[in-house]
Amino acid sequence: MSTGAAHILKGVNSGQVRSGLIIVDKPQGWTSHDVVGRLRRLAGTRKVGHAGTLDPMATGVLVVGINKATRLLTYIVGTSKTYEATIRLGQSTITDDAEGEITAETIAAAVTDEEIRDAVAALTGDILQVPSSVSAIKVAGERSYARVRAGGEVNLPARPVTVSRFEIHGIRREHGGKLRDVDVTVQCSSGTYIRALARDLGAALGVGGHLTALRRTSVGPYSEDQASTLEQLAEDLRLLDLNDAARALFPVRELSEEEAADLSHGRRIAASGMPPQDGEPVPVAAFAPDGELIGLLADKADTAKALLVFAPGNERS
């Protein structure tokens, strides 16, 4: 092990491995799996996972969990996301982004700014979206993208998604005016494909479209302001402590000593009183009087049951 690597791991693997989130600024060309592999080496633990895949072409916020914090990733995956993107009108590709070969070209010179804005407005709000065929969705046990790249056909069903913000920042003419590039910000629910928005915008305007640039700027409460590049993390493995990560993600309940003891042993405690959301109980982060995260709770009638309990002491649990 090099001197630099020893410095990186010092304090992380000395006796106990810390738990928490790392907010990574993913570089272009890396898969999310590549990033997880790098962080496993930097943190010196196999217990590393990410919350929500970013395509290799995309950059920006990738939330990575270390040790105990991997148990929070399921909840982070379901949060809303924000993206900065550029959509090119006048060209369609097999992947709905710039990584795929062009399948159709149409001169988009006649498309007006007003028409673009109207089409964007129609794709805002609660919509039904057909995911990009080159996606990780499984079809008969096979990834959709694998089937498409092998020459097969995929017909994915539309699914409900919410695009709460679809804002245009600029519209430019490219390639002698034949193409139009649209710079946008998109805030959306989990499961929304920005590539599919680009495809559908082009289809609505009759000229085809695809994504040429994509950057994720936030995942739930975690933003690019908190993110570090892989180069920065190699020098300083900045970890968002498990307690701080949970406080940012969930409503908080401060427990008494008795409640903390009961919860730690799997016993139910009094309900938190958190109103349900969309008919489902809302997870609440429960903290002991000393500020340590005990677990996640959800109300059921007049009691709160544990969804997760974090075992004290052993950081690898």
C-alpha 155/C-alpha 252 separation (Å) is 43
By CB neighbour count within 10 A (0-12 exposed, 13-18 middle, 19+ buried), where does 146 fall? middle
Mean pLDDT computed over 249-274: 93
261, 40 in Cβ contact below 8 A? no
**Which residue out of 25, 55, 96, 200 is catalytically annotated?**
55
pLDDT by residue (tens digit) across 170-207?
999 999 999 999 999 999 999 999 999 999 999 999 99
C-alpha 93/C-alpha 70 separation (Å) is 35
| Residue 49 phi, psi (nearest 5) | -150, 170
Query: What pTM did the predictor assign?
Result: 0.88
Residue 55 appears among annotated catalytic residues: yes
pLDDT by residue (tens digit) across 20-47?
999 999 999 999 999 999 999 999 999 9
Mean pLDDT computed over 248-253: 96
Give pLDDT, residue 250: 97
